[in-house]
Amino acid sequence: MGLREQVKSVLLKGYEFRLNRWLDGKQRPRHVGVVLDGNRRWAKEAGFTDVAHGHRAGARKILELLSWCREAEVEVVTLWMLSTDNLNRPAEELDPLLGIIADIVDELAEPGNPWRIRHVGALDMLPTETAARLSAAALRTKGRTGLEVNVAVGYGGRQEIADAVRKLLQKHAESGGTIEELAEVLDVDHIAEHLYTSGQPDPDLLIRTSGEQRLSGFMLWQSAHSEFWFTEAYWPEFRRTDFLRALRDYAIRHRRFGS
């Protein structure tokens, strides 16, 4: 590391220290959702011809993010790793990506790690092997008491709502009820109970990397009162400083919840 990089590193650590001190005692998000965007663009700008290098770099960044969230006493993190639209990518890109995702989830589930893993998404839309590995990883972390990590793979906000309504209708039919009876009592809580994130608090803060300023269907139902934070950094370049800035911006916002 050259002198310039050393000075920059020292200054950055000092800035992070001041941010952390400022955040002490301020409001913190219980649930943080992150759109891990920009892996492919990062790889191309770095000169890689195979975008899988970007996905691998992005996977390594997840471990860092979870450690930052743990320090910040975040309770739930939702990581959007693969959308339902992404499943239409060419096999030569999709197959390695699915393998990278399954590998990092397996790593999170290793003994000694505190994370509780929960898959959020349509398992039936994923290849059988990928679905099995994600389900097995989640099962291995059952009973842990640490940060709950939602891995959103094969996830789409519209798909989630459609699945929730389908489950609601099936449950009502199994109990012998009619559609007319359900229509009489149906409210938002009935649907919320059947979302992938059922039982969890809605996200307080949603972060998207890579400069894109849209949700693209991420947690459509749950984000009704979320705070959004966007950064130009590609996901593999996302730093602890960026995360602390997101927490700072969240801390100074007045959350009205529609009132």
Binding-site annotation: residue ranges for substrate: 38-42, 55, 83-85, 89, 208, 214-216
In a domain, 73, yes or no: yes
Residue showing tokens 């992150």? 34
Q: Which of 20, 86, 106, 163 is catalytic?
A: 86
First and final CA of the chain: distance in angstroms? 52
Query: CB atoms < 10 A from the CB of 160, how many?
Result: 25
Question: Is 20 among the catalytic positions?
Answer: no
Instruction: Evaluate whether residue 174 is within a structural domain.
Output: yes
Is 210 a domain residue?
Answer: yes
Number of structural domains the chain divides into: 1
Parallel, antiparallel, or unpaired for β 31-35 and 148-155?
A: unpaired
1 in a domain, yes or no? no
Query: The pTM is what?
Result: 0.94
The answer to whether position 13 is within a domain reads: no
CATH classification of the domain holding 40 = 3.40.1180.10
Q: pLDDT at position 72, please?
A: 96
Is residue 108 in some structural domain? Answer: yes
pLDDT for residue 142: 94
Q: List average pLDDT for each run of 10 residues in the chain, which is 259 residues long.
A: 76 90 95 98 96 97 97 97 96 96 98 96 96 98 95 97 95 89 90 96 98 96 97 98 97 79
- Greatest distance between any 2 Cα atoms in the chain: 73
Residue 86 among the catalytic residues: yes
**For residue 93, with 0-12 CB atoms within 10 Å meaning exposed, 13-18 middle and 19 or more buried, which class applies?**
middle
Burial of 224-259, coded b for 16+ CB within 10 Å and e otherwise, reads eebbbbbbebbbbbbebebbbbbbeebeeeeeeeee
**Contact call for residues 117 and 138 (beta carbons, < 8 A):** yes
Calpha distance 231→246 (Å, rounded): 9
CB 23 within 8 A of CB 29: no
| Binding-site annotation: residue ranges for Mg(2+) | 37, 227
Residue 190 lies in a domain: yes
Task: Tell me the C-alpha distance between 188 and 192, whole Å.
Answer: 6
In a domain, 143, yes or no: yes
d(CA 188, CA 185): 10
Structural domain including 209 reads 28-257
Options 20, 24, 37, 103, the catalytic residue = 37
| Three-state SS annotation for the chain | CCHHHHHHHHHHHHHHHHHHHHHCCCCCCCEEEEECCCHHHHHHHCCCCCCHHHHHHHHHHHHHHHHHHHHCCCCEEEEEEEECHHHHCCHHHHHHHHHHHHHHHHHHCCCCCCCEEEEECCHHHCCHHHHHHHHHHHHHCCCCCCCEEEEEEEECHHHHHHHHHHHHHHHHHHCCCCHHHHHHHCCHHHHHCCCCCCCCCCCCEEEECCCCCCCCCCCCCHHHHCEEEECCCCHHHCCHHHHHHHHHHHHHCCCCCCC
DSSP β-bridge partners for residue 135: none
Q: What residue numbers does the annotated binding site cover? A: 37-42, 55, 83-85, 89, 208, 214-216, 227
